[in-house]
Structure 1
Amino acid sequence: MPARAYAATPHGLIHYAEQGEGAPVILLHQTPRSWDEYRDVLPLLGARYRAIAMDTLGFGASDRPAEEWSVELFAEGVLALCDALGLERVALVGHHTGGVIATEVAARAPERVSALVLSGVPYVDAARRAKVAHRPPIDEVTPRPDGSHLLDLWNNRRPYYPEDAPDLLNRLVRDALNVLDRVEEGHLAVNAYRMEERIGLVRAPALVLCGELDEFSRPDMAELAGRLPGARTELLPGTGVPAVDHRPDLFAAAVMRFLDRLLP
């Protein structure tokens, strides 16, 4: 079982779970999840590394900043956790929103990032910002006295989750309820991020992963990898948006194949 703890940072308390010893690997979740997204990945990566799954500021059990949420603020939280844990250099693994945050961390502190794994990450440039500017909310629902908004929350994500694994949606809904009043802000932060101005600052070796059924991010794989010289790409078969917790075996194996070449 992973150990769970809080770290005091200038942005408040950040909650994290960790397992294993060795080179540190920070795991960053999608919106609106928590460290729980990596619950089944932690013991697999923890067999070789010090795997640390954190709750992004505002999500899970981490403190909630009062200011407007942004990818830059989330990235500050990652570096603050590294400082609190005395980690000078880390590998970063991020899924969807977590991957965008990882990109910003690697751009602002390239000397502190030894490797970068971006899973299901969109390439956020002016064209994408224009495309999603008027897109309906992904997870935002209006609370109603009869609780029917819970079904709305479920159904919004249901098309992208496997029917034979309802527990995956249970876990997402639980995390979403924890941040229901600001549930869409993680997505809005990604849509506002100027990745095209920041990705050129990344220096870490990179792996671009994506579930083969992830219709949101798979079309961006080539563009994203092309902006990261020497980046490798890999598709995870039989899975889509919930690749991390749907197929933790495939996900962890791909990450380890990449990191084993780079980490002691």
Structure 2
Amino acid sequence: MQLYARDVGQGTPLVLLHAFPLSSSMWLPQREALAGRFRIITPDLRGFGGSVLGAEEPSVETMADDVAALLKSKNIPRAVIGGLSMGGYVAMALCRRHPDRVRGLVLADTKATADADAARENRLRTADRIIAENSVAVLTEELLPKLIGPTTMRQRALVYGRIRGLVQSTPPKAAAWAQRAMAARPDSTETLRAVRAPALVIVGAEDGITTEADARHMADALPNGELHVIPRSGHLTSIEQPDLFNQSVADFVSAVAKSTA
């Protein structure tokens, strides 16, 4: 199954994998700011945006295989792989299944640990409700308020409105499938310990979903990892503080390009 992807710019390939329950539309600030320096590839993960869902069982491994197939179709042997939240889970699965594809790794507002029982049960409950109602209203009610930090809520109402629109436009079947895939994902700590590529871990200082402690756990597990904390940002650092996010990522990708040329 071929993912739909936006592909802009030239230079070192940087693949950015979106958060749940958004789409590649969330990476607009990165495409605009970074395409002058790098080749920015932003796929819609299966079921989201312009990509079809398919009939496979829910799995972040399947999502990672989709990304590897996309790279193969574009004749890109290796790329810097970045993922935010759910996209980070997929990036870690890619490290597990297709490590030779990973030239560098960016993990933003995500975590290596599997869901605790209560979180897993909540995901499955949410997925069941989405299917029963054929609606993502539960995500607007329960998840949306947690996605951005208090600074953004106070100072950047337009950002909140944009994210709300992206959540509301999520196809219900894709949202339920992805929730079940994330509920089933394994612990990726050992995966990170085996990563030999340079890695950057980013977290919003106000992220209440994946915390700074989660980020430090990943950075400590990575043999060649560094941690950047983005101030005045919640879970969606690339949207809430795009300038700071872009600077961190651009510096990292430039260093990777020089060190692995």
Q: TM-score, normalised by structure 1?
A: 0.84
* In 1, Cα distance between equivalents of 2:94 and 2:146: 31
1:133 aligns with 2:126: no
Aligned to 2:68: 79
Tell me if the contact between 2:112 and 2:218 (Cα under 8 Å) persists in the aligned partners.
yes
Aligned to 1:63: 52
Aligned to 2:105: 116
1:184 aligns with 2:176: yes
Aligned to 2:214: 220
Q: Among the aligned pairs, what percent are the same residue?
A: 26
* In 1, Cα distance between equivalents of 2:164 and 2:256: 32
Aligned to 1:208: 201
* In 2, Cα distance between equivalents of 1:152 and 1:132: 15
CA displacement 1:96-144 (0-9 Å, x = unmatched): 010111111122222221100000111224xx43342333656854648
CA displacement 1:10-48 (0-9 Å, x = unmatched): x2x311112211011101001111110101111212121
Tell me if the contact between 1:32 and 1:172 (Cα under 8 Å) persists in the aligned partners.
no
SS at match of 2:58: coil
Gaps of 5+ in 2: none
* In 2, Cα distance between equivalents of 1:241 and 1:65: 29
Gaps of 5+ in 1: 1-10
Alignment of 1:228-243 (within 5 A): 228-243=222-237
Tell me if the contact between 1:212 and 1:235 (Cα under 8 Å) persists in the aligned partners.
yes
* In 1, Cα distance between equivalents of 2:136 and 2:116: 29
SS at match of 1:114: strand
Alignment of 1:190-201 (within 5 A): 190-194=182-186, 195-201=188-194
The residue type equivalent to 2:83 in the other structure is: G
CA displacement 1:182-219 (0-9 Å, x = unmatched): 41332332232112453333221111100111112123
* In 1, Cα distance between equivalents of 2:190 and 2:99: 15
The residue type equivalent to 1:212 in the other structure is: A
Pick the aligned partner of 1:258 from 233, 244, 252: 252
Tell me if the contact between 1:75 and 1:102 (Cα under 8 Å) persists in the aligned partners.
yes
SS at match of 2:235: coil
Tell me if the contact between 1:97 and 1:187 (Cα under 8 Å) persists in the aligned partners.
no
SS at match of 2:3: strand
The residue type equivalent to 1:106 in the other structure is: C
Q: CA RMSD in A?
A: 2.3
Q: TM-score, normalised by structure 2?
A: 0.85
* In 1, Cα distance between equivalents of 2:205 and 2:228: 9
